[in-house]
Amino acid sequence: MSQKIKTFSLYFIKRLFKRILFFSFLILFPNKFVLANENNPQDYFCDVSKSRLLEKDVISLSLKDKKFNQVISEIDKKPSNKKYNLLVSTGEKPSSGYSLEFLKIKKKKKFDKIYFQETKPKKNSKNLSIITYPYCLINLKNLDEYKIKIKKKRLKFFPVSIFQ
């Protein structure tokens, strides 16, 4: 009986340890963990522009749009040796401290969903008083099969976001 209890308790301890290990991994390496299990695009580049890239209320522009190449050519900071076919932007932000990051791609029935995360500065934080336009450039296959989703988070002192 005591042996059984001991075996059970060891089993639960082992299981608990595995879970702790699993969650610790999630906490410490969230992006890597997610991306490792999703459809990772070949290339992406995220930055913040001080000029408007897309018209108001438009969040993305793909290679299929006529303006795409012109808009892309005006982005100076992008790596010159990369090619992209999708531009995603959060639109106008009131200061520095905002950013956009590529998170993951989730497969759905009809469309795959591309997840981005918009980061906001801390409340009452000090920032540069410039209008910014956070954006990401991505190179994806099969542009028609994606939907774009932007999640928001505010920077906290704790380095892990609620979203993850």
Partner 1 sequence: MNNISKILAILSLPLLLNACGGGGGGSAGGAASYTVPSCTDSGSAFQTNEYYTIGSNSGGRSNQLELVCASSAYARGATGDGISIAVVDTGGPWNASGSLINNEFNSDSDEIIKPDNSDYFNSDSVPEDTYDHGVGVACLIRCDKGDGDMHGIAYDSTLRFYKIFNGSGTITSDSNVAAALNAADANDIINNSWGTASNGCSSASNCESLIGSSTYAAMKTATNTNGKILVWAAGNSGYANPGAEAHAVVHDTNLQGLSVAVVAVDSTNANSTDGDSDARISSFSNRCGDAAAYCIAAPGGDMTTVSYVNGQTFVVGGGTSYAAPLVSGGLALIKQEFSSLTNKQVVNRLLTTALDDDEYSQSSIYGHGLMNLNAATTAVAKLQTINGNNLLDDPNTSYNDLVNNNFSSSAAFSNALSSALNGQTMEVYDSFDRANFDVAIDSFFTSGSYTSQNTIENHMARLQPKTMEKVKNKTLYGSFTVETDGNFIGSSMFQSAGDFLALGFNQSTNSFENAVDPLSNFFNDSNFGNNYLVNPYFNTGSGQDYFMSFNSNSSFGLDTFTNANGNDLGLAFNLNPLSSSNEGMKYAGDLQLVFGANYEQNKFLNSTSTGVFATGDLSNTNFTGLKYKKNLGDDFTFVGSGFAGYTYIDKAVDSYIDSSTPLLTSSFTLGLAKANFLKEDQRIGFFVNQPQRVEDGSLNLRVPTSSDRDRTVTYSNLNVDLEPDARQINFDIIFNKIITESSNLSANLTHVRNGDHSNESKNQNFFSLFYKKTF
Q: Shortest Cβ distance from residue 137 to partner 1 (Å)? A: 16
- Using CB under 8 A as the binding rule, whether residue 51 contacts partner 1 is answered as yes
- Do 40 and 105 form a contact (C-beta atoms < 8 A)? yes
- Do 118 and 49 form a contact (C-beta atoms < 8 A)? no
- Using CB under 8 A as the binding rule, whether residue 123 contacts partner 1 is answered as yes
- Using CB under 8 A as the binding rule, whether residue 80 contacts partner 1 is answered as no
Pattern 6-45, binding to partner 1, x per CB under 8 A?
A: ----------------------------------------
User: How many amino acids of this chain bind partner 1 (CB under 8 A)?
Assistant: 22
- Do 105 and 139 form a contact (C-beta atoms < 8 A)? no
The helix or strand, by DSSP H or E, that contains position 20, with its residue range, turns out to be helix 2-28
- Using CB under 8 A as the binding rule, whether residue 77 contacts partner 1 is answered as yes
- Using CB under 8 A as the binding rule, whether residue 91 contacts partner 1 is answered as no
- Using CB under 8 A as the binding rule, whether residue 50 contacts partner 1 is answered as yes
From 15, 67, 113, 126, residue interacting with partner 1 (rule: CB under 8 A): 126
